[in-house]
Structure 1
């Protein structure tokens, strides 16, 4: 064994993240119906154990207690999202809600007074349902409504927020809503999805344009879910398959949101198959080129492994990225069996090096990384504490490679875990638990897990001891 103290840079951001729809609960402040509330009304059977987002972690009423738990679990920073539907309860537009402003100002002030930097995200999958009815991200009018919402947030909370983010995982709603049937309104239509993706990128740029007018000391960026893509082999067909998968899943948002340009190879591919968006103008492209992210959040959970297709596609079926590759199940891979994701810690190093070499080493941080486990009460002791040593090991193993990335010159400023307290998850509700703090759904009682105690030590020491022989 080669035990070494892995120390992180001074002022490293230790924290975690969640979103409004997954944590706040509806409450009584006034809130427009979101697409998730609409979907639950229409198809409650698609939600695990029929649990909706009506109450979730009840953060709206318990935020002061929660901020103290943040301190007790070593947070010096925390990412929230601001609910568009709560800020504009008249269907996402109209008059801003003073009760929402009061809530977020109270929350952010409480965080700052307790030494916790506010990382505020403006959109985390929670489209007001009435705006989805107007076309959602396929609509220029919805883009304008989003920019108005963002500008209002900059004005109302700019003095309290440390960093801003336009979107969390913008790829998610495109895949879920237009390709893979896991987000409302469950359309299968790539070309419409391409239009929605394009307008999402435009909304990002226009929000940054609005942000700059406020001359705040904070920075603004975006949070992307990124996975390094690995071909099954170096056979040219496998390599080509990996390149195309990478275009769809990684470069599609990363390039325009950070570099201001769309990948030429992806544009050419979509043009060949007549899948380009139709509502595009030169002014949009200029805005996208000139208003790019100042900081980048990296959500990393698993690698992407692909291989060349061995079977023909059905040309009468819907156009999908899977036309160009198959997913590869690597023999011997380690799995989080509860989530169905591969555990590959070195991928976090590969991802950071990609950002260093290909995206100007933009200031970045790990904005999500975590391990969801079902039935965690199995690991609860007589005092009611979850002894989640598996989560502690998971965090250490990923952080060891993140430390290596920093040693190799990657401009990484922090690490945020998903998540703080067990929170409601899209469709899966509370099936898998991710938190540093456990939640009793019946009583809303919060109890710090062993991982929460570890996270406090990690933050206090700004590092941990690790057997570096385990690094490859």
Structure 2
């Protein structure tokens, strides 16, 4: 009898503890995200200028899996009121979206400002606020003006000046209502995925050189935008400004010291490339990154390191240039040490690692909650526990309404995040990618991440809630992650 009583008490506390672990802290915010090129369409509406993804998809449709474009996409340029309606129905605290640089500045420069572009974003921002949804605005989400690409785009440091001018304009026109700004979305994808892996617009292959030139310009551009906001707008507007960095969690493939060191090197060079200059005590690139690239450059007969150095002033301007760290995370990968022979340069060879995903991971290779928790704790240790906003977390599938995999993904990843908060990590928001199915860059419309299904064969682009939308709506309403998800699946 005493044993049964003790078992009941233990069960009670176990259930209570598990429930407590699923409850969001006070003031924690929940939202969803999108990006201008992926949802807006209206690629040449009014006086909008051409961007690098317009040019790529029109001139080289063969590089997109389904030969598609973002010319119409979800048609949010015309259907933004429907977007606000579904956001209101979800009950989100905020909506993260990006501004199309060329919709606002058709030439990429401030010599011409689009009145229709201003009206579009003003109307969207005002409508969000009227519905008690905070606008969280990203200045740059991959859609560089084609006019700036003609002289090198992000590989030319002068682009940071044009970005600074664009940022000042956006702060001046929208900052009275927008209180959370993200300068750049996913610098790794902008630079390494494009110039190193030859995957994104403008489709220029320059591994080990173009990617590093791009990286310096991106970081300098971020710091310029931050200091413009800090000096000219912060006092009056009272907002926050940060950067969003994308990263995997690098797990050693084996317990061998060389793989353990390789996994740490992967984190330092892939994530630290962007985070270290801003969030570390010393600033600048990680030492391991500087030393490895310098040494391999020497062996390749370069007269100096292929990694462009920062000036002392640039290091000082970058250090501490963010009020928060925006974090995009999708995958965990197993990392092994791989020393490549000297030859044509690349970032892959410079860091000396190889990455794998274990197909036997449970519940699946896309859903690795323990990796998410490890990543958040690594950031806490490495950068003295900065304020972190999860700005993207999402699950790919074929777009079905009964998206069980997505429900499981967000349930498990949010639980891991709450565990990390219990570990002392300073995390204050979680953003689902994405509000609806959209144009997924080189994958076109072949994969889907949305909480809402979009009928791309219908000129009205009908939005239909999936099981994951119902799940996330319940999470927002109850501020709790439900353990039983069967109620959301028909």
TM-score by shorter chain over 0.5 = yes
Aligned pair 1:395/2:419, yes or no?
Answer: no
Secondary structure of residue in 1 paired with 2:440: coil
2:296 corresponds to: 273
Q: Residue by residue, what CA displacement relative to the aligned partner does 1:138-163 show, whole Å, maximum 9, x if unpaired? A: 21221100000011111000011120
Unaligned runs of 5+ in 2: 1-10, 298-304, 485-490
Quote the offset at 1:347 in angstroms.
1.6
Contact 1:17 1:368 in 2 (8 A): yes
Pairing 1:268-347 to 2, within 5 Å after superposition: 268-274=291-297, 275-278=305-308, 280-289=310-319, 291-309=320-338, 313-322=340-349, 324-330=352-358, 332-334=360-362, 342-347=366-371
Pairing 1:132-281 to 2, within 5 Å after superposition: 132-183=149-200, 184-212=202-230, 213-215=232-234, 216-259=237-280, 260-274=283-297, 275-278=305-308, 280-281=310-311
Cα distance in 1, alignment partners of residues 249 and 23 from structure 2: 25
Quote the offset at 1:329 in angstroms.
4.4
Cα distance in 2, alignment partners of residues 45 and 93 from structure 1: 34
Larger CA deviation: 422-431 vs 350-359:
350-359
TM-aligned CA distance change 1:331 to 1:140, over 3 Å: closer
Secondary structure of residue in 1 paired with 2:30: strand
Q: Which residue, 418, 427, 430 being the options, matches 1:412?
A: 427
Cα distance in 1, alignment partners of residues 259 and 67 from structure 2: 41
1:128 corresponds to: 145
1:22 corresponds to: 38
Contact 1:222 1:257 in 2 (8 A): no
Q: Which residue, 351, 374, 378 being the options, matches 1:354?
A: 378
Contact 1:79 1:120 in 2 (8 A): yes
Contact 2:452 2:469 in 1 (8 A): yes
Cα distance in 2, alignment partners of residues 62 and 123 from structure 1: 22
Cα distance in 2, alignment partners of residues 271 and 105 from structure 1: 47
Cα distance in 1, alignment partners of residues 423 and 119 from structure 2: 44
Contact 2:212 2:308 in 1 (8 A): no
1:383 corresponds to: none
Contact 2:197 2:207 in 1 (8 A): no
Contact 2:296 2:342 in 1 (8 A): no
Cα distance in 2, alignment partners of residues 34 and 189 from structure 1: 23
Q: Residue by residue, what CA displacement relative to the aligned partner does 1:396-417 show, whole Å, maximum 9, x if unpaired? A: 1111111111122211111100
TM-score (norm 2): 0.88
Secondary structure of residue in 2 paired with 1:122: strand
Cα distance in 1, alignment partners of residues 307 and 441 from structure 2: 28
Cα distance in 2, alignment partners of residues 329 and 437 from structure 1: 28
Secondary structure of residue in 2 paired with 1:402: helix
- The CA RMSD over aligned residues, in Å, is 1.9
Pairing 1:38-49 to 2, within 5 Å after superposition: 38-49=55-66
Quote the offset at 1:334 in angstroms.
4.3
Runs of 4+ residues over 4 Å off in structure 1: none
Secondary structure of residue in 1 paired with 2:66: helix
Contact 1:14 1:74 in 2 (8 A): no
Higher Rg: 2
2:397 corresponds to: 373
TM-aligned CA distance change 1:43 to 1:92, over 3 Å: farther
TM-aligned CA distance change 1:335 to 1:191, over 3 Å: farther
TM-aligned CA distance change 1:328 to 1:372, over 3 Å: closer
Contact 2:294 2:307 in 1 (8 A): no
Unaligned runs of 5+ in 1: 378-385, 468-472
